[in-house]
Amino acid sequence: MNHFYVSYAYSDMVKHGYGYLEFKTEGQMSDEGFMDRVRKNIGDNGKLPDGSVTVLNIIKLN
> In angstroms, rounded to a whole number, what is the distance separating the alpha carbons of residues 16 and 4?
23
Region of residue 13 (phi > 0: left; psi between -120 and 50: alpha; otherwise: beta): alpha
Q: HSE, CB side, 13 Å, CA atoms: give it for residue 58.
A: 12
- The string of pLDDT tens digits covering residues 28-38 is 888 888 877 77
Q: Average the pLDDT over 14-25 and give the result.
A: 82
The answer on pLDDT for 14 being more than 80 is no
- The string of pLDDT tens digits covering residues 48-62 is 666 677 888 888 887
Looking at residue 4, its pLDDT comes to 86
List domains and CATH numbers for the chain. 2-60 (3.10.20)
